[in-house]
Amino acid sequence: MFSHKPTLEGQLVRLRPIQGQDAEVIHRLIHDPEVAVLTGSVHTSAPQPSSWSVEALRETYQQWSTSDERLVLAVIERKTETMVGEVVLNDWHEENRSCGFRTLIGPEGRGKGLGTEATRMIIRYGLQTLGLHRISLEVYDFNPRARHVYEKVGFTHEGTGRDALWFEDRWVDVHYMSILDTDIF
């Protein structure tokens, strides 16, 4: 499904296929404390040791760059030509014409509309160009900024997984959201 790796041009961002050499940027992004918290990758906001080396990320992203099981696109801010994050379509289910979505935007890309445009672009690509019927995601309760972006793009809240993540001595809910091809056509 994801064998073609497009470059998509927007007003604020360019989405281009991820490459192994992007590993150093990804390493920096995933070690940003706010990114680690908002993605549910850690169970505390205290600094955590890394489980990903730059070399391991390089190998993984090099594999993903040619994998037909996922589409990973680097988010490049056009104004600065700087990589500020990534957007991903994954977990493809052929019979249901559905997949999952995730994104990661680092600190230098926040608050500028870059994540909103990148999300809108890859979702449109998935629904219109690839012919997907449904794209779904999960967002934790402590990430209202991301949930707002998803709603702005057209995602619908489908339900809540109560007490889905143990974080800093309390349970946090996860929200399930999706967008259908009929939602944007």
pLDDT tens-digit map of 107-146: 999 999 999 999 999 999 999 999 999 999 999 999 999 9
* Strand ranges of the sheet holding 13-17, from the earlier edge strand across to the other edge: 8-9, 13-17, 71-77, 82-93, 98-105, 134-140, 170-180, 156-167
Structural domains of the chain, with CATH: 8-136 (3.40.630.30)
pLDDT of 168: 87
pTM: 0.91
pLDDT band at 42 (very low <50, low <70, confident <90, very high): low
pLDDT of 49: 60
